[in-house]
Structure 1
Amino acid sequence: MTTRILLVEDDPVSRAFLGAAAEALPAIVDVAGTCAAAMDCAMHGAHDLWLIDANLPDDTGAALLSRLRARFPATPALAHTASEHPDDHAALLAAGFIEVLVKPIAVLDLQTAICRTLGFDRAIPDGGARLCANLPDWDDAAALAALKGEQAHVLALRGLFLDDLALQRETVVEALRNGDPQRAQRSLHMLRASCGFVGAAKLGDAVRALESEPQSTLALGRFQAAVDALLSQDRIAATAAATART
């Protein structure tokens, strides 16, 4: 599967640098210089990641993210800015960006941030960093192996897993926000086991990362993005099934 990134940056030099660094992963990079152009680009093709400048000619990066999320709620986003002020970074994180990158940023640092966000192995400084392992949302082979090849059991367990996933996410997030890491760890431990049974590969990886770093905003963002991706697929499948019945 080819990774596709939407890069939103109005400065031509920064746009060329960031675009070339992302393409070297490798990835397909669509570029836009304004919020309006970014929205048009997003509507003409799905993206795995948005890389958005904090300040654009026709609005802010935070405002653009809000409009994009109204259409595509599960797509992760990174912000990039020349500001080093903590308040600016906090505002971008509060707006929904997983991480804030400060320009100028080194090629490897940018590539590694992209890899972290998408759940890939880290970029490797070998003269051309690469995405080593694109984890799927669902690993059917792993699920079938765990359940002795019974496809019906896999589908049934995935249904139960998805039914409970939003509540499990809420439990983890609430526990971390309330300063109760032990409760969060208990929920994450159970969720990791469930991910293994149903083959939720990307979420399982995000759960392990959050278990290792429960105070990490990035790890929490990856966890929530992985949950959103699965729940979004479930909603689409439910809508399609309901339409087929009518």
Structure 2
Amino acid sequence: MHQTPPPLPRLLLIEDDLISRSFLQTALEALPAQVDCAETLKGALDCAGQHDYALWLIDVNLPDGRGSDLLEQLRRYHPLTPALAHTADTCDALARQLRDDGFENVLVKPLSRESLLRSVRAALPPVATDLQALPAWDEARALSALNGQQAHIKALRDLFMGELPSVRDAIAQALRDEDRGQLQQQLHRLQASCGFVGAARLGAAAAQLQQQPENPAARASLTQAIHQLLLN
């Protein structure tokens, strides 16, 4: 039976400044994640009424109110959703107040892409997908990716399996070095390759580790998925 990888986390970004919103949205989509945007309290409440979100990123000052007031309203309906505040204000007293108001962390703009993603990953709920429910090899997905060319699947899988030990070692090295850029690059390439050859379980594990590279469970899941394929 054809099974798909777990869906991307859905995030709600509330930011009224166009330049800041464009930067934040582009960076967040690289998690990878699905990002919805709102510019006002009203827009954010409308979005929250239509979708469930894994995380809210809320500007402290909005055209129609305060970020803390928005968080209070959102929490009436979604009490467990984590939230990050973002602001250009560097005042320590404000940061303490925002945490008291219920924000997990306060991001000070301008901030780097890596700093943003690190904070978002730390705030996202832990990985909970049962990877063992996915097949090691998904024939239907591989055939779809290769336009039904059955003969190409074996050739590509042989190449994929031949390169997998070196990919495993490169990912392990990136984790040891805490090289987030190299890690994300390796995981992105691995996830794409898994899609072509139908390595469903490993592809899902790579996607999870992309989202939460510091999560021990996600790291263990990737190691196990690679080991299982190499043993077959």
Displacement of 1:98: 0.4
Output aligned runs, 1:1-246, within 5 Å: 1=6, 2-119=8-125, 124-126=180-182, 128=184, 132=209
The verdict on how the C-alpha distance between 1:3 and 1:113 changes in structure 2, with shifts beyond 3 A counting, is: same
Contact kept? 2:184, 2:210, Cα under 8 Å: no
Aligned-pair CA distance for 1:24: 0.5
Query: Residue 74 of structure 2 aligns to a residue in which SS?
Result: helix
1:126 is matched by which residue type in structure 2? Q
Q: How many angstroms apart in 1 are the aligned matches of 2:33 and 2:78?
A: 20
Q: Give the SS at the match of 2:25.
A: helix
**Contact 2:10–2:34 (CA under 8 A) maintained in structure 1:** yes
Distance in 2, Cα, partners of 1:113 & 1:8: 16
Q: SS in structure 2 opposite 1:51?
A: strand
Tell me the amino acid that sits aligned with residue 22 of structure 2: A
Matched residues in 1 for 2:115 and 2:179: separation? 8
Counterparts in 2 of 1:123 and 1:16: CA distance versus 1, 3 Å: farther
Matched AA of 1:132: L
Aligned-partner SS, 1:97: coil
**Structure 2 runs not aligned, ≥5 long:** 1-5, 128-177, 188-207, 218-232
Alignment-mate amino acid for residue 112 of structure 1: R
Greater relative contact order (CA < 8 Å, ≥ 6 in sequence): 2
Runs of 4+ in structure 1 off by over 3 angstroms are 119-123, 127-131
Deviation track 1:135-156 (CA, whole Å, cap 9, x = no partner) reads 8xxxxxxxxxxxxxxxxxxxxx
Distance 1:124 1:113 in 2: 13
Q: Quick one: which amino acid aligns to residue 13 of structure 2?
A: L
Distance in 2, matches of 1:9 and 1:82, equals 12
Instruction: Work out the number of aligned pairs and report it.
Output: 138
Classify 1:134/1:26 alpha carbon distance in 2 versus 1 (closer, same or farther; 3 Å).
closer
116-125 vs 101-110, greater mean Cα deviation: 116-125
**Structure-1 separation of matches of 2:126 and 2:102:** 21
Alpha-carbon separation, structure 2, partners of 1:93 and 1:64: 14
Change (3 A) 1:70 1:11: same
Give yes or no for contact 1:54–1:81 (8 Å, CA) kept in 2: yes
Counterpart code for 1:83: D
Larger Rg: 2
Counterparts in 2 of 1:46 and 1:109: CA distance versus 1, 3 Å: same
Q: Give the CA deviation at 1:118.
A: 1.2
CA deviation after TM superposition for structure 1 residue 124, in Å:
2.1
Query: 1:126: Cα distance to partner?
Result: 2.7
CA RMSD of the aligned region, Å? Answer: 2.6
Shift of 1:120: 5.7
Q: In structure 2, what is the Cα distance between the partners aligned to 1:123 and 1:76?
A: 26
What is the CA–CA distance in structure 2 between the aligned matches of 1:32 and 1:110, rounded to whole Å? 18
